[in-house]
Homo-oligomer: A and B are copies of this chain.
């Protein structure tokens, strides 16, 4: 049985889900759904990898090694060395592999790629530890984000690409009636891959933000070079190794996907990006480099850059429930998610409740402070929600936030990680400003920093949130209102800045979460990025439809 036959049913389910935007999970998200053996083996495999060479890659032409990873939980180097090759070798390998890969059918590609996801599934615990000790995510988030959630996003691009690649008949007999006779042409319609894809990873979500572009490129017939962030290599290295193994088993060149590890001392991203052979670039990271990527001539680019996400609070049922939900959103992985809220717009006139009461501005801010404090100081929840700070610069920014010139509602609290006493941990700082203090809040303050902005009224809140999205980008917006007209107004205004709005989230659902198969991620319409996975353009910009005709 071919890999395609083996995974045909899964593919069809995934295609259906992307169409209907219904709930669908290709792999279960809970660690408890996986075997205890798998959990134990993952831990051992990760520990055995520490201090050793990563030898699972099947790519060729390696000449040296690199490895800079350091655990945010222990500050110890992981001391894993990855093989490296000159840029020219990576490009030559990718070109050679492309010659073969571009000729494969969508069925062959889908079979191989879904099989690789099944192989990765057995390594989710190992990937979780790898993610934890490179990104600073908690164990559960590391498991979910880098494992099943990433695989779901990959599966989603496979499904979307398959649907687009098979959208037109491969062969068509075209008959044009001309009165007394007819013209008959034999036509075929071929999706031609654009060329070599470069996928540039980030340090905080090494697989979740990388696999969509990686699988989309492969699925559309392009060979790929994955350039991970030098501080977050191991999680995506496991994915690449598993894809290479399946490629080899199926008789294809392992170099169809290559891992291009570099070191912080000698970054090779620009060399790769500027190679004329590289036609597609996927990028997740900061704005300056993202703008450079988008401006490269003759490349098709897919970027996810920084954004400033807003919370608009107009009216509520229960403000405590609202603030509890938002406290979790800003604390989760210490605000290092691209979807984390930063600016809270609250009217100086206060917040109306469904009991016809008005909660004044100061009380509202106090409620937020209390809920954040209660969460992070909770010994069972605090450290596990915050995780650790990936980058020392982010820690510095968080430590210095009290000096930004805003009034400090909540300074960092004394919270320790019981398991990792040397963890790079800091609790969220809450600042409060007037709407006029634009120099403070009209910028991304990446990390655990929240700014409450006092506005005249909700219309003012919305205007500022929209302006922020238009000028600085936004990936999400959380809004709370019990008034249907206000809900429609906020939707219309924020959607014009291409920011999706999540209304009235309380309980076990948070604005930070974008579900594969249903929620688009990044809008593609504002400065936060020019891509959205997985909308149709995310896959059909990676190949070109070419129609040939012949008189038979």
Contact = CB atoms under 8 A, between A and B. Distances in A.
A545 B518 contact: no
Interface string A177-215: 110000101010110101000000000000000000000
B174 A525 contact: no
Contacts of A523: 544, 546
Interface stretch (A44-52, A162-170, A301-309, A458-466): A162-170
A535 B545 contact: yes
B499 A546 contact: yes
Interface in A487-526: 487, 491, 495-496, 498-509, 515, 518-520, 523-525
A537 interface: yes
Nearest to A541: B537
Interface string A132-150: 0000000000000000000
A506 B551 contact: yes
A523 B349 CA distance: 57
B500 A519 contact: no
Contact of A551 (B19, B183, B509, B535): B509
Q: Could you say how many copies of this chain the assembly holds?
A: 2
A540 B535 contact: yes
Contacts of A546: 495, 498-500, 520, 523, 525
A11 B6 CA distance: 39
A509 B185 CA distance: 9
A505 to B, nearest CB: 6
A499 B189 CA distance: 12
A177 to B, nearest CB: 8
B509 A183 contact: yes
B519 A549 contact: yes
A532 B545 contact: yes
Contacts of A541: 537, 541
A380 interface: no
A22 interface: yes
Contacts of A506: 551
Given A23-B174, A192-B495, A548 B500 contact: yes
A548 B183 contact: no
Given A183-B509, A520-B545, A169 B20 contact: yes
A270 interface: no
A473 to B, nearest CB: 12
B548 A501 contact: yes
A1 interface: no
Given A172-B22, A508-B183, A519 B536 contact: no
Nearest to A188: B491
Interface in A26-78: none
A550 B479 CA distance: 9
A357 to B, nearest CB: 21
A520 B549 CA distance: 11
B518 A174 contact: yes
Contact of A295 (B189, B297, B503, B532): B297
A94 to B, nearest CB: 15
A23 B520 contact: no
Among A167, A176, A520, A546: residue with most chain B CB under 10 A: A546
A549 B183 CA distance: 52
A456 interface: no
Contacts of A189: 21
Given A507-B183, A508-B183, A537-B541, A495 B21 contact: no
A525 B175 contact: no
Given A495-B190, A537-B541, A550 B174 contact: no
A291 to B, nearest CB: 9
Contact of A192 (B175, B508, B525): B525
A524 B550 contact: no
A236 B389 CA distance: 59
A286 interface: no
A544 B532 contact: yes
Contacts of A379: none
Interface of A: 19-23, 164, 167-169, 172, 174-178, 183, 185, 187, 189-190, 192, 194, 295, 297, 487, 491, 495-496, 498-509, 515, 518-520, 523-525, 532, 535-537, 540-541, 544-551
Given A192-B496, A194-B525, 9 more contacts: A19-B167, A21-B168, A21-B189, A172-B518, A187-B518, A503-B550, A520-B546, A536-B540, A537-B540
Counting from the closest, the 7 A-B pairs by CB-CB distance are A503-B550, A525-B544, A502-B549, A504-B551, A498-B544, A23-B176, A501-B548
17 contacts: A20-B169, A21-B172, A23-B174, A23-B176, A172-B518, A174-B515, A183-B508, A185-B509, A506-B551, A507-B551, A509-B551, A520-B545, A520-B546, A520-B547, A524-B544, A525-B544, A535-B545
